[in-house]
Amino acid sequence: MMRQGAVLFDELIVILAVNPEKRSFLPMEQRVRLLESLAADLPGRVRVEIRMQGFLAEHATQLGATHLLRGVRNASDLEYEKTMARMNARMQPELQTVFLVPPPEYEDVSSSLVRGFIGQPGWERWVQPCVPPPVLDALKKR
């Protein structure tokens, strides 16, 4: 998504949101560093921001964004993302949502799926095709 977004937009701001209902596998600071390392070779300007609270649409508008870039892996993602896009448009009508579809090899990959493999004998073999090398390294160290 970052690679596609960096081609589509002059500036790409990757916003990491804090969801109090979910427990992240990696600490926020490490997630930021990983995203920054993955964006280092991308064209255009890419930066990583953390949103601790509040609504994504409002935060994006405050940052000067004109679009929200969202990934859609399957039909259930699409239904959820359409609902969110409509709500975001109510909050910030000038903000447009753009949906991108990942390559087929990633359409079934989710953080929950990856987390479910970690710790099982031989997990690295199955997780390696699902995550970038720096993320795999971080998961091995955890």
- Please report the DSSP string for 103-137 in residue order: PGGGTT--HHHHHHHTTSTTHHHHHGGGS-HHHHH
Per-residue model confidence (pLDDT) at position 34:
95
Task: Quote the pLDDT of residue 142.
Answer: 81
pLDDT class for 66, splitting at 50, 70, 90?
A: very high
Domain that holds residue 124: 108-134
Residues 125 and 68 occupy one common structural domain: no
Q: Does the pLDDT of residue 19 top 80, yes or no?
A: no
Q: Above 90 in pLDDT, residue 44?
A: no
pLDDT in tens, 70-127: 999 999 999 999 999 999 999 999 999 999 999 888 889 998 899 999 999 999 999 9
- CA dihedral 7→131→73→116, nearest 10 degrees, is -160
**Res 140: pLDDT:** 93
In a domain, 41, yes or no: yes
Q: pLDDT tier at 20 (50, 70, 90 boundaries)?
A: confident
- Number of independent structural domains in the chain: 2
- The mean pLDDT of 29-34, rounded to a whole number, is 93
Is residue 84 one of the residues assigned to a domain?
yes
Please report where in the chains the tokens 């870039």 appear, as a residue.
69
Burial of 26 (0-12, 13-18, 19+ CB in 10 A): middle
Measured distance between the N- and C-terminal CA atoms of the chain, rounded to whole angstroms: 25
Does 142 reside within a domain? no
Residue type, 99: F
Same domain for 88 and 38?
Answer: yes
Distance between CA atoms of 37 and 29, rounded to whole angstroms?
Answer: 12
**pLDDT at residue 64 in the model:** 92
What percentage of the chain exceeds 70 in pLDDT?
Answer: 99
Q: Which residue has the tokens 């970038």?
A: 132
